[in-house]
Amino acid sequence: MFKKRPTKAELRDQLSAEVSQFLKKGGEIKQVEMGASGLVDGRYNQHKARFDHPKPAERTPIHGLLAAIDARRKSKLQPGNRKTTQTSPRKKVIYDDFGEPVRTVWVDE
């Protein structure tokens, strides 16, 4: 019904079998220096992605905007500036001496 995924050991065995088969057919494995495979003509790839539109000549400064946001945040955190939220009544359960619920009442807190 559904196919079992191969384990790491099975993958390792399959890879070593493919390498030995490649070498038996006359293939050759070359050793390269670490990081050399990412080089093109001895240098890293210098080509950059091009987009159809040019880069904007000037960026928008945001220091003033960030300062305004921080000032609003600080004013909201001060105790005198907090909005008082009107609490709605909530249900409270009254228990007897044995911990059994007797009744529920609505309490304004």
Identify the burial level of 59 via C-beta atoms within 10 angstroms of its C-beta, where 0-12 means exposed, 13-18 middle and 19 or more buried: exposed
For residue range 44-66, list pLDDT tens digits in order. 666 665 666 666 677 778 888 89
In this predicted structure, what is the pLDDT of residue 53?
A: 65
Ramachandran quadrant class, 99 (left: phi over 0; alpha: psi -120 to 50; beta: rest): left
| Alpha carbon separation from 43 to 31, 46, 49, 52 (Å, rounded) | 19, 8, 17, 27
For residue range 9-44, list pLDDT tens digits in order. 999 999 999 999 999 999 998 887 776 666 666 666
Q: Which amino acid is at 17?
A: A
Q: Is the model's pLDDT at 85 over the cut of 90?
A: no
pLDDT-derived band of residue 81, with 50, 70 and 90 as boundaries?
low
Higher pLDDT, 68 or 41: 68
Residue 92 bridge partners (DSSP): 105
